[in-house]
């Protein structure tokens, strides 16, 4: 309660214990999370087992960061693979190599971001340096016969300069077993959610100009890597539908 006698939710002091929900006299607060066991989670996953078999799909653990709950994550992945379900793990890899190595036999595809190659700039924009992330990624690529799927979120003025893109290409080209690279254009769809939670939104970033990822995608495709470029200029429906003057489609 503040000095005006009004109740306020102090998110800075929140420790996610849920005690405020129990203490709220009006019942205005409620928890939006549910605690479940590994077996309960597997039960939900296995409802679609027939679809996984027919489509080639499986289970992807994302977040948040799944490695913040390493024991639960490992047990869930192991349980899924024991039942024949393909597994993928979406992680930033900002953790110890021991935690990563413990999951190597349970993960079929690793989904990992590369945001910036310069460690000091990486810390400036994300809050942590990238040394451990890149080291884990290199060790992961060489340690097990598992596929790696890399996403590069491109943000104008942050990581779209030619030096960073060239360094990113150098790093990815040196990694074995990269199954796919996605170049993702920045969007601000999460800003309203942060404001709704009472958090200050980050500084306003901008989407990259169309074609920003062309040089990077061209280099990686030349190495036989499947690249999906979300910054590529879109062809208009009309241009694709009608012949040009030369009799070819635009």
Rounded distance, CA 153 to CA 189, Å?
14
User: Which run of H or E residues covers position 90?
Assistant: strand 86-91
Helix (H) or strand (E) holding 161: none
Buried/exposed 66-75: b ≥16 CB within 10 Å, e otherwise:
bbeebeebbb
- Tens-digit pLDDT profile for residues 19-75: 877 878 777 777 777 889 999 999 999 999 999 999 999 999 998 899 999 999 999
**Whole-number pLDDT of residue 64:** 84
Decide if pLDDT at 248 tops 50: no
**Can you tell me the distance from the alpha carbon of 52 to that of 180, in angstroms, rounded to the nearest whole number?**
20
Please report how the helices 214-222 and 162-173 are oriented relative to each other, as an axis angle in degrees rounded to 10.
Answer: 20
The mean-pLDDT minimum among 2-6, 51-55, 161-165, 184-188 falls in: 2-6
pLDDT given for residue 170 in this prediction: 97
What percent of the chain shows pLDDT beyond 90?
A: 66
Neighbours of 181 (CB within 10 A): 24
pLDDT, residue 242, reads 39
Average predicted confidence (pLDDT) for the chain: 86
C-alpha separations of 64 from 69, 90, 126, 127, 138 in Å:
10, 9, 14, 15, 23
Is 87 within 8 Å of 80 (Cβ atoms)?
Answer: yes
C-alpha–C-alpha distance, residues 33 and 43, integer Å: 18
- The DSSP H or E segment spanning 162 is helix 162-173
Predicted pLDDT of residue 31: 76
Q: Which domains does the chain have, with CATH numbers?
A: 92-241 (3.20.20.70)
The pLDDT value given to residue 235:
62
- Peptide bond connecting 64 to the previous residue in cis, omega within 30 degrees of 0: yes
> Is the CB of residue 188 less than 8 Å from the CB of residue 205?
yes
Could you say which DSSP state residue 18 is in? Answer: -
Determine phi and psi for 152, rounding to 5 degrees. Answer: -120, 100
Q: Given a cut of 50, is residue 240 above it in pLDDT?
A: no
Please work out, in degrees rounded to the nearest 5, the angle formed at the alpha carbon of residue 207 by the alpha carbons of 194 and 191.
5
Cβ distance 43 to 85 under 8 Å?
no
**In the predicted model, is pLDDT for residue 241 greater than 60?**
no
Cα–Cα distance, 175 to 141 (Å, whole number): 6
Query: What is the model's pLDDT at position 188?
Result: 82
């Amino acid at each position: 309660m503040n000095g005006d006698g009004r109740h306020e939710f102090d998110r800075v002091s929140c420790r996610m214990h849920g005690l405020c929900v129990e203490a709220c006299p009006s019942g205005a607060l409620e928890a939006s999370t549910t605690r479940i066991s590994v077996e309960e989670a597997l039960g939900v996953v296995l409802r679609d087992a027939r679809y996984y078999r027919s489509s080639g799909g499986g289970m992807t653990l994302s977040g948040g960061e799944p490695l913040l709950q390493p024991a639960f994550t490992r047990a869930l992945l192991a349980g899924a693979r024991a039942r024949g379900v393909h597994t993928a793990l979406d992680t930033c890899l900002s953790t110890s190599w021991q935690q990563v190595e413990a999951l190597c036999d349970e993960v079929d595809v690793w989904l990992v971001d590369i945001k910036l190659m310069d460690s000091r700039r990486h810390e400036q924009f994300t809050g942590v340096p990238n040394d451990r992330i890149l080291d884990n990624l290199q060790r992961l690529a060489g340690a097990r016969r598992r596929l790696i799927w890399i996403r590069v979120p491109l943000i104008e003025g942050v990581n779209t300069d030619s030096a960073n893109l060239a360094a990113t290409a150098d790093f990815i080209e040196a990694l074995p077993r990269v199954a796919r690279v996605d170049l993702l254009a920045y969007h601000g769809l999460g800003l309203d959610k942060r404001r709704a939670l009472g958090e200050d939104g980050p500084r306003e970033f901008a989407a990259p100009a169309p074609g920003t990822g062309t040089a990077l995608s061209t280099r990686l495709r030349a190495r036989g890597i499947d690249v999906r470029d979300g910054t590529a200029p879109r062809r208009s429906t009309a241009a694709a539908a009608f012949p040009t003057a030369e009799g070819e489609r635009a």
